[in-house]
Structure 1
């Protein structure tokens, strides 16, 4: 599972706004903002939802994130 920093980095690389990511993940934007402000990791459930949303957005755009390729190769 990725950390919030990993999720944020991928979000920025994909050019997705925090608002759009939260809408796609069905996560309140305040939840993500609060985690960033307090320098705390969101719950595992929230991180899974954010990861799934980013994967869906990437797939819609025909992009395979490098992290996904590394995981599939077993690296």
Structure 2
């Protein structure tokens, strides 16, 4: 029973990590100013841009999945220390 619980959390962790990677790949690049700042390009380095639409949704979901990834990993570690 104890190993089944840990295994279930590991499967959930794998699914969350996979979805997190896919969402990360679907997001566009947010910062195009890195090389322009080094080469002296005239780009708006400190421009304030707001995320809108799908970009904002992907960003919020990615943040939530990242936080849940760490929480699930900590839960698995605690279960392994206490149950096994």
Q: TM-score range by the shorter chain?
A: 0.3 to 0.5
Q: What TM-score do you get using the length of structure 1 for normalisation?
A: 0.39
Q: Greater RCO between the two (CA within 8 Å, min separation 6)?
A: 2
Q: What TM-score do you get using the length of structure 2 for normalisation?
A: 0.36
Higher gyration radius (CA): 2
